[in-house]
A and B are shown apart, each in its own frame.
Chain A
Amino acid sequence: MPKINIIIICILLISSNIFSQNNNFHLNGKIVDDKNNALQGASILLKPINKGTTSNLKGNYIIDGLKKSKYVIEISFIGYKNLTDTILIEKNTVYNASLTTEILSLQEIVISDNSNEINKKQQSLNVEIVNNTYLKENMGGSLSKSLARLPGVSTMDIGTGQSKPVIRGLGFNRVVVVENGIKHEGQQWGADHGLEIDQFAVDDIEVVKGPSSLMYGSDAIAGVIDVKQNKIPLNNTINANIDLIGKSNNNLLGSSILFSTRKNWFFLNLRATYINYADYKVPTDSVDIYSYKAALYKNQLRNTAGFEKDFHLVFGIIKDKFSSKFFLSSVNSKNGFFANAHGLEPRNVNTQIHDEFSRDILFPYQEFKHYKIINKNKWSFNNLKIEADLGFQNNFRQEWSEYVNHGYMPATFPDSLIFPANLELQFNKNIYSGKIITTYSLSENTNFSAGLNAEYQQNMVDGRGFIIPAFTQTNYGIFALVKQVFSQKHIVQIGIRYDLGNIATESYNDWFLSPNETNISYSYLQRAEKINRNFSNFTYSLGYNYNLEKIALKINAGKSFRMPIAKELAANGVNYHNFSYEVGNSNIKPEISYQLDAGFEVLNKKFAFGATPFLNYFSNYIYLNPSSQHDRLYGNGNQSFYYTESEVLRYGAEIHSHYQLFKNIKLGFIGEYVYSEQLSGEKKGYTIPFSPPTNVLFNVKYSRNSITFVQKPYLSIDYILTATQKNIVPPEEITEGFQLINIRFGGDLKVKNSIVKISMQIQNILNTKYFNHTSYYRLINVPESGRNFIINISIPISLKIKSELKNV
């Protein structure tokens, strides 16, 4: 029984009794979503007899009294793409279908939380779902950038191509990124590099806003970005897809080529992506780095060029009751840092060498390689579903810069050391992960799931700089979740979880001598001593949904936690990029957060409005607190920054709305607001670092079915207003507000049998000079990139394999 999981269908023709005389057949089956959750209330219609029904709570349907004939079956459900197929009924027939989420409304402006999509309605936390089309239409320099338009999502950037996702003002280790079911592990704590994910290889993304430790364990305090590669080719087809991308600002050229095929239960996807870009341009002639003015050549931010090279192999077997998929990927990138400032430290550079070519990558630069192997398995029995995922990852990252003898380092680099003089930092991390989740349906209204996940990390360090010591880390978590539906309108979910963790850091000594207090004797200072800490934590979540036809309400209360990371426990070195001497605290407790989330949405044909307020309390928010002290010996005269715990209160909301003004014109609005305040400690009254400013977005979208030869043409204009961020904490600076206009337009072109999709964007059309409060380069006054014209062309090529199975 072949079954196609995602984009399209799942046909099951049990057998063919061609000569049957019986004229009273029935057609039955099950309608599920792309996560294999039953869809209740889907409409099933047979044409031309116009006989139909709707699916029940388990997604099952039956239509009987059918004559032997060919029918057209139409399956539709609000929030999902309609499915139309031709079927031949010559016996009692089973036709199962999997519907994909219809994300059209998201492309335009919103829909988001609590929309009519059933899987959102069934989750008690606020969720945003986007697909590949949305990503292409909104493609930024990185995956996180492409998501930044979503309400409550922003980024932490360094330059244009490197960014990390931020959910409601929290980022780094407080957001979990999951790819194909396995937590993505890199060096999440670092501000100066991005997420190692190829945004072309993404099919769907689910953004969960709110404490998600229950399902994802430590770190999911602010939320989860769940990235899925779930496209499975149609049976008996060979497909290719060529994506071409170009950007004017940094002369980026790139291509991603996908090859996919499927023969019955076996499928295979192969993808290669290559992107190459030059220095990016900013709307300014010079940059003030601590009042040291660095002139820019042709508005180019010197040495920010780079490239990305990714490979993916996905294959697996899809059977009716069992599926097993393998995801192998290698994501590689090399990109330069702005040469006039390594980190925040001003540098004199040879501008002649740097300005000769805009595509070369000189010192300082970073390089990473991220390898991943994931195996995802799923068994479905009558009332029982078991999922088991296994993963291995290797994250290798290097920072290269010319040797400079900071502090007591020798003036000339000794040749007796094992690492090269110009290797500033190197991290090499192996990550082994595993997860099992079982879901059992006790009755139509009661679901029970339980799961277990485990992760082991081994992190090695090298290079002349010291930021974190080498460490190993182990985490185990066990959880249980009950979901109960009452009278089809009310859903209650209760979950509990228990986690155990261990982190063991290695000791580290300087490779150079430092003088003691009296300048008489010299020693190799010990920066970090061995630390071995065990953690345990109990978390819970309680959610309630109330769903009416046009109104949805949800409320969720939850506790989340985060194990302290090696840097917070054991840092003891100078970060010359920030003029800071950073000191960890080996006694820090796991960070605990309590959050109350609500969401409501009203939706009808022409109008939608939704709001998602939250209230959040941290009993011990961990952050790097700049003190008034300087340190000579360990800090080489730099200001001391200590990892500190303080109570933090945060609240905020996102609101979104859209209105269909005319048949072809839709107006939209998104607003985001977050307030944070430290309630205790040395910085009582201050906000927490990197608080995003209040932001509103107005949108007008014009779209229609076709204009001459262009199908589904659209033109969408965003007007973004960002408030001044005055709520700052040392060492931040007040960031002025700004206004931006971005335009998106495109459509589909029919070329022979293929539909070529063209998406274009003009970002920052007025070439406005503005600063992003959460950019790493904000402190040295590097503005965000100037006007950028982006074009993305997606060309599908599809071939059918001659099939003996086709009987339609």
Chain B
Amino acid sequence: MNPAKILIIVSLVVFSITSCKKETTEIDKQKPEIIINIDGTFPLNCDTLYFGETFNVKMLFSDNFELGSYSIDIHNNFDHHSHSTEVTECQLNPIKTPINPFTYINDFTIPVSQKQYQTNLPILIPTENENGIFDEGDYHFFISLTDKEGWSTQKGFSIKILKR
């Protein structure tokens, strides 16, 4: 056998072995989930919240290994810029210029070693800040969830915040 043939055979064998190498260590390749079809999930797309009142964020989080943390962001959608993740369309008010819109951003931890976690998080929406009374209208409720490995999932809902 000449060296050329040997080289060809060796390289084909190496190539096929390396191409078929099976993973030896088990690593997590699944994103966590925000489950919104349990009883009493709140808020959902097109729901309404009220200034001066406290509402309860109720959602079920789930992951195959271990959950990480989550954050909630509420901001105005007076310009209909919408990054809703939901298929259903909500009835939006006409586009308007914000004067003193309400903004809420916070991050929350999840106790360690949880595969499932249900939030029971009260959030108070104040009626005003030092600039005056907050604007009523269309808002976005945006929630982001991670697992321990850094996989993440997001949900965005169109909501309204009104004065009762």
A residues contacting B by CB (< 8 A) are: 290-293, 345-348, 402, 404-408, 411-412, 550-551, 579, 600, 602, 609, 611, 613, 625-632, 635-639, 651-653, 655, 671, 673, 675, 682-683, 685-686, 694, 726-728, 730-731, 734
Nearest-neighbor residue (CB-CB) of B82 within chain A: A348
Nearest-neighbor residue (CB-CB) of A678 within chain B: B27
Specify which of A346, A348, A629, A637 is in contact with B85 (CB 8 Å cutoff): A346
Residues of A within 8 A of B106 (CB): 632, 637
Question: Taking the complex as formed, is B150 at the interface, i.e. its CB lies under 8 A from any CB of chain A?
Answer: yes
How many Å from the CB of A237 to the closest CB on chain B? 45
Residues of A within 8 A of B18 (CB): 651-653, 673, 675
Question: Taking the complex as formed, is B55 at the interface, i.e. its CB lies under 8 A from any CB of chain A?
Answer: no
Residues of A within 8 A of B85 (CB): 290-292, 346
| Cα separation A734 to B151 with both chains bound (whole Å) | 13
Residues of A within 8 A of B38 (CB): none
If the complex has contacts A292-B86, A628-B146, are A404 and B81 also in contact, measured as CB distance less than 8 A?
Answer: yes
Q: Is B71's CB under 8 angstroms from A630's CB?
A: yes
Specify which of A346, A627, A727 is in contact with B150 (CB 8 Å cutoff): A627
Q: Is B149's CB under 8 angstroms from A730's CB?
A: yes
Q: Is A630's CB under 8 angstroms from B144's CB?
A: yes
| Cα separation A600 to B3 with both chains bound (whole Å) | 11
Q: Is B152's CB under 8 angstroms from A609's CB?
A: no
Nearest-neighbor residue (CB-CB) of B102 within chain A: A411
Residues of A within 8 A of B84 (CB): 292, 346, 348
The 0/1 profile, CB within 8 Å of A marked 1, for residues 125-156 of chain B is 00000000000000000101011111110101
Can you list 16 A-B contacts (CB < 8 A)? A292-B87, A346-B84, A347-B82, A411-B101, A551-B7, A609-B4, A613-B14, A630-B71, A632-B106, A637-B106, A637-B144, A639-B150, A673-B15, A685-B27, A730-B152, A731-B151
Residues of A within 8 A of B53 (CB): none
Question: Taking the complex as formed, is B69 at the interface, i.e. its CB lies under 8 A from any CB of chain A?
Answer: yes
Question: Taking the complex as formed, is B97 at the interface, i.e. its CB lies under 8 A from any CB of chain A?
Answer: yes
If the complex has contacts A579-B152, A613-B14, are A630 and B107 also in contact, measured as CB distance less than 8 A?
Answer: yes
Residues of B within 8 A of A632 (CB): 71, 105-107
The 0/1 profile, CB within 8 Å of A marked 1, for residues 76-107 of chain B is 10111111111100000000011111010111
| Cα separation A686 to B84 with both chains bound (whole Å) | 31
How many Å from the CB of A718 to the closest CB on chain B? 20
Residues of A within 8 A of B144 (CB): 579, 630, 637-639
B residues contacting A by CB (< 8 A) are: 3-4, 7-8, 11-12, 14-15, 18-19, 21, 23, 25, 27, 29, 68-73, 75-76, 78-87, 97-101, 103, 105-108, 142, 144, 146-152, 154, 156
Residues of A within 8 A of B154 (CB): 290, 579
Nearest-neighbor residue (CB-CB) of B87 within chain A: A293
Q: Pick from A348, A579, A682 the residue with the most CB of B within 10 Å.
A: A348
Q: Is A602's CB under 8 angstroms from B68's CB?
A: no
If the complex has contacts A628-B146, A637-B72, A655-B11, are A551 and B4 also in contact, measured as CB distance less than 8 A?
Answer: yes
Q: Is B69's CB under 8 angstroms from A636's CB?
A: no
Q: Is A637's CB under 8 angstroms from B105's CB?
A: yes
Residues of A within 8 A of B3 (CB): 551
Residues of B within 8 A of A290 (CB): 85, 154, 156
Q: Is B4's CB under 8 angstroms from A550's CB?
A: yes
| Cα separation A406 to B21 with both chains bound (whole Å) | 45
| Cα separation A447 to B149 with both chains bound (whole Å) | 52
Specify which of B29, B73, B150 is in contact with A626 (CB 8 Å cutoff): B150
| Cα separation A551 to B4 with both chains bound (whole Å) | 7
How many Å from the CB of B133 to the closest CB on chain A? 14
Residues of A within 8 A of B147 (CB): 628
Q: Besides the contacts A637-B73, A655-B11, what 20 more A-B pairs have beta carbons closer than 8 Å?
A: A291-B86, A292-B85, A293-B87, A347-B81, A404-B79, A404-B81, A407-B73, A407-B103, A411-B78, A412-B98, A609-B8, A627-B146, A637-B107, A639-B146, A653-B11, A675-B18, A683-B150, A730-B149, A730-B151, A734-B29
Q: Is A631's CB under 8 angstroms from B14's CB?
A: no
Residues of A within 8 A of B87 (CB): 291-293
| Cα separation A632 to B108 with both chains bound (whole Å) | 9
Nearest-neighbor residue (CB-CB) of B110 within chain A: A628
If the complex has contacts A346-B84, A405-B75, A628-B150, are A611 and B15 also in contact, measured as CB distance less than 8 A?
Answer: yes
Q: Is A630's CB under 8 angstroms from B69's CB?
A: yes
Residues of A within 8 A of B15 (CB): 611, 653, 655, 671, 673
Top 4 A-B pairs ranked by shortest CB distance?
A628-B68, A411-B98, A626-B150, A348-B82
Residues of A within 8 A of B27 (CB): 685-686
Nearest-neighbor residue (CB-CB) of A601 within chain B: B7
Specify which of B70, B80, B97 is in contact with A630 (CB 8 Å cutoff): B70
Q: Is B8's CB under 8 angstroms from A602's CB?
A: yes
| Cα separation A411 to B14 with both chains bound (whole Å) | 60
Q: Is B70's CB under 8 angstroms from A412's CB?
A: no
| Cα separation A351 to B85 with both chains bound (whole Å) | 18
